[in-house]
Amino acid sequence: MSRVDYPALAARCAALTEGEQDIIALMATLACEIHHSDARFDWTGFYRNVGGDLLKIGPYQGGHGCLVIPFSRGVCGAAARTGQVQLVADVDAFPGHIACASSTRSEIVLPVWQGDALLGVLDIDSNQPAAFDETDAAALAAILQASFAP
């Protein structure tokens, strides 16, 4: 299983997004860089908080994603609802998991904040079971925090 060189990924993301304020441009660039940084990452993208406790698909890499996810459903909804990283080793064991792709075996979802505002979530799916761990969570959270700082 390959592992991300997170310091190099963080440096690339910082260089590519330096000075950028447009949220969609930031999401698109990060989705691309993160997705191509590791073979474990089968689908990488953002779901945007559009209000009304709803997430809508944002920039992503990989096959089609779900268009709309309520905060009350799935792993992405749980991350948005609780504001906590969701590390799911086996998506079939997650109550209410939304299967946007039948190949997904494990998932990590991180809330994306700008100050106190929830912009959405970063969702990364893998076709491998138990593909993500706390190292991934901490490194990805740091990249998101640096990229979306107010």
pLDDT, tens digit, for every residue of 90-105?
A: 988 887 777 776 778 8
Q: What is the pLDDT of residue 135?
A: 95
Degrees (nearest 5) of the Cα angle 8, 122, 142? Answer: 40
Q: Residue 1's pLDDT band (boundaries 50, 70, 90)?
A: very low
| Global pTM value | 0.94
Residue 1 lies in a domain: no
The stretch 31-50 carries a mean pLDDT of 96
Residue 78 lies in a domain: yes
Q: How many domains does the chain have?
A: 1
pLDDT 10s digits, 66-90 = 999 999 999 999 999 999 999 999 9
150 pLDDT above the threshold of 90: no
Residue 80 lies in a domain: yes
Q: What is the pLDDT of residue 2?
A: 53
Q: What is the DSSP letter of 116?
A: T
Please give the residue range of the domain that contains residue 83.
6-147
CATH (domain of 124): 3.30.450.40
